Amino acid sequence: MRAGPGLSPTGGVAAYCTRVPLQPGLAAKVVLDVCDADTAMALRTGEVAVLGTPRLIAACEEATVSAIAGHVPPGHTTVGMRVQLDHLAPTPVGGAVTAEARLDKIEGRRLTFSVSASDDRGLIAAGKVTRVVVDVDKFMDKCT
């Protein structure tokens, strides 16, 4: 396949092919103490008072950000691009959830993490999160 302007030979945007100075293996974990505001009812995504999936996703994304903290070049940050998460078991209000992330793959500016979350009863979620390294000023210019 021949690449056109702004495209890589694989058909993606060339900007995604820009290399970033990160290495696979960076990892972090965060702990969430589930409160009423974290429930599916409070988030309006369900009718039960257990940890809501959107809040679980946020905890997993927080772990990805923590994993690469201090490793992203100045003037840059990462933004979420894709989340693939299986929410496997409920966690009640008062439970503690540990979300973990590990940087598995770097493709240009795309960072793919394995994520999981557990509570005192075991695994409650597992999946992948993809983030993209962006120049903060250029990214914010897109908002205007």
CATH number, domain with residue 107:
3.10.129.10
Q: Tell whether 2 is covered by a domain.
A: no
Q: How many other C-beta atoms are found inside a 10 Å radius of the C-beta of residue 109?
A: 21
Residue 21 per-residue DSSP state = S
Any domain includes 52:
yes
| Amino acid occupying residue 138 | K
Catalytic residue numbers, as ranges = 53, 61, 87
Which residue segment(s) compose the domain that 94 sits in? 24-141
- The answer to whether residue 60 sits within a structural domain is yes
Please report whether residue 15 resides in a domain. Answer: no
- Domain count of the chain? 1
For residue 98, the cross-strand partners are: 31, 118
In the chain, which residue ranges form alpha helices assigned H by DSSP?
40-43, 53-68, 136-141
- Asked if the structure places residue 17 within a domain, the reply is no
pTM of the model: 0.86
Residue 13 and residue 3 in contact, taking contact as beta carbons nearer than 8 Å: no
Q: Does any domain span residue 18?
A: no
82-139 pLDDT, tens per residue?
Answer: 999 999 999 999 999 999 999 999 999 999 999 999 999 999 999 999 999 999 999 9
Asked if residue 1 is part of any domain, the answer here is no
